Amino acid sequence: MSLTNTELHTSLKKIFGFSKFKGLQENVIQNVLEGNDTFVIMPTGGGKSLCYQLPAIMKEGAAIVISPLIALMKNQVDAIRGISEEPGIAHVLNSSLTKTEVKQVKEDMTNGLTKLLYVAPESLTKEENIEFLRSVTISFVAVDEAHCISEWGHDFRPEYRNLKGIINRLGDDIPIVGLTATATPKVQEDIIKNLGMTDAKVFKASFNRPNLFYEVRPKTQNVDADIIRYVKQNQGKSGIIYCLSRKRVEELAQVLQVNGISAVPYHAGFDAKTRSKYQDMFLMEEVDVVVATIAFGMGIDKPDVRFVIHHDIPKSIESYYQETGRAGRDGGEGHCLAFYAYKDVEKLEKFMSGKPVAEQEIGNALLQEIVAYAETSISRRKFILHYFGEEFDEKDGEGADMDDNARNPKPKEEAMEEVVK
């Protein structure tokens, strides 16, 4: 199946109400419509969902969408139903469905009403589901958050490992669309190998965020005072402060409050009600600052976050990129400030020491990269993008002057000393 540009734009407008494609979407969608394997690498918020949703709706049969999080699947199904008059157009298939619900899903699938079937990987391993899916027409399989396949990614899920075998059982030559926001070459290799996508056409968007300013400051005993000063200088702006431990989250939130800053804590130790209360307070701008562990942020879309501070260095450059990526979504200023002390790295190493050796090796390698980032005297943007396999021109690239090293280059001798070290 192949469509003219006009036909594709008409469908985009009619189905989703958007007047133009974002970035590489149009090329990706053409490739999916043609029935080819497709690999999409775009930063979070880049618009990956549309890359499979639109072709799924236009093609014959149903697309199977594999996604790791039940909550995210539910959101997407609700969103698709919201733009259609046919509630059966999208379904989730998982173990929480009642018998009646499962019957409805199967009926809609069999009648060709369903265009998108969201499935968690563990539901896809169930023999009765495989049997059923073999009996219907499948347009393609989309593997969202495909980095879950790789131990080098930030969210490895063993269930993702066996997907290829299952997909093979669903039918002959079903096209695969892999999608991820993880741009590291290692993770990409793993995905391609694991899903057997060596012939896939790869679409990779730039990961450069030119409106974000990157800065690293040494972390001293006075880090709390440094953070208070920073937040006070930026009063009224929304910001996230990440800490490694729950204890530190609560302490720092309190210290900020005592100093007249409106802040709430957030970590996975609070019950769901408390978490959503604090999250809403931040989203509704009842408070300026949320002090949080990495439990905060997934799926949160506050466009005007003006700063992301790391009280502790994160475990990898990729985590750092994801967490800082929550700043400046609206294209406005976004300050990414990390406080760095080598002893925090040792803490992270200690955390890992109880884990299996292979995991430790990977963890330590990732940690060395973030240490190198913190200690570098070259353009931080260049450093991050290089990590993602992307060339960046530190003289003329977009956002070239947007980091501490670019603004205040170290004298040559000092920079050389560092290189030698």
Binding site for ligand ADP (CB under 6 A): 18, 21-22, 25, 42, 44-50
CB 48 to Mg ion: min, Å: 5
Run of H or E including 202: strand 201-204
DSSP 5-32: HHHHHHHIIIII--SS--TTHHHHHHHH
Shortest Cβ contact with Mg ion: which residue? 48
Interacting partner of 47 out of Mg ion, ligand ADP, none (Cβ under 5 to 8 A depending on kind) = ligand ADP
Contacted entry of ligand ADP, Mg ion, none for residue 322, CB cut-off 5 to 8 Å set by kind: none
Would you say 146 or 261 has its CB closer to Mg ion?
146
Q: Give the whole-angstrom CA distance, residue 399 versus residue 9.
A: 31
Q: Nearer Cβ to Mg ion, position 115 or 248?
A: 115
Collapsing DSSP states into helix, strand and coil, what is residue 350?
Answer: helix
User: For the packed helices 70-82 and 48-58, what is the interaxial angle rounded to 10 degrees?
Assistant: 50
Q: Which does 261 bind (CB under 5 to 8 A by kind): ligand ADP, Mg ion, none?
A: none
Look at residue 123 and give the partner it binds from Mg ion, ligand ADP, none, a contact being a CB closer than 5 to 8 Å depending on partner kind: none
Give the residue with the Cβ less far from ligand ADP, 22 or 386: 22
Closest listed residue to residue 58, CA positions, set 31, 33, 23: 33
CB of 98 to Mg ion, least distance (A): 28
Q: Which is nearer to ligand ADP, 53 or 129 (CB)?
A: 53
Q: How far is the CB of 254 from ligand ADP (least distance, A)?
A: 34
Interface mask toward Mg ion for 35-54; x: CB under 5 A: -------------x------
Whole-number Å distance between alpha carbons of 264 and 276: 11
Q: Looking at beta carbons only, is 143 or 337 nearer to ligand ADP?
A: 143
| Least spacing, CB of residue 325 vs Mg ion, in Å | 13
Q: Would you say 294 or 371 has its CB closer to ligand ADP? A: 294
Residues in the chain: 421
Query: Are residues 57 and 89 in contact, defined by beta-carbon separation less than 8 angstroms?
Result: yes
132 binds, among Mg ion, ligand ADP, none (CB under 5 to 8 A by kind): none
**Minimum CB distance to ligand ADP smaller for 73 or for 345:** 73
Encoded tokens for 1: 């199946």
Q: Residue 145 or 403: which CB sits closer to Mg ion?
A: 145
Tokens of 20: 């133009």
Across 258-347, the runs of DSSP E, i.e. the strands, are: 263-266, 289-292, 305-310, 334-340
* Least distance between Mg ion and beta carbon 71 (Å): 13
Which of ligand ADP, Mg ion, none does 18 bind, CB closer than 5 to 8 A by kind? ligand ADP
* Residue type (1 letter), 400: A
166: Cα within 13 Å, side-chain hemisphere: 24
Please, what is the Cα angle at 186 between 181 and 192, to 5 degrees? 75
Residue closest to 249 by CA, chosen among 232, 227, 234: 227
Q: 88 touches which of ligand ADP, Mg ion, none (CB within 5 to 8 A by kind)?
A: none
212-218: strand order across its sheet: 212-218, 334-340, 305-310, 238-242, 289-292, 263-266
Please report how close the Cβ of residue 143 comes to Mg ion at its closest, in angstroms. Answer: 12
Q: Least Å distance between CB 275 and ligand ADP?
A: 21
Q: Least distance in Å: CB of 11 to Mg ion?
A: 20
What is the layout of strands, in order, in the sheet containing 176-180?
90-93, 116-119, 62-66, 138-143, 176-180, 38-41, 201-204
Q: Write out the two tokens for 67.
A: 């996604």
Write down the least CB distance from residue 52 to ligand ADP, Å: 9
| Residue closer to Mg ion (CB basis): 79 or 365 | 79
Q: Which does 46 bind (CB under 5 to 8 A by kind): ligand ADP, Mg ion, none?
A: ligand ADP
42 binds, among ligand ADP, Mg ion, none (CB under 5 to 8 A by kind): ligand ADP
Residues that bind Mg ion (CB under 5 A): 48
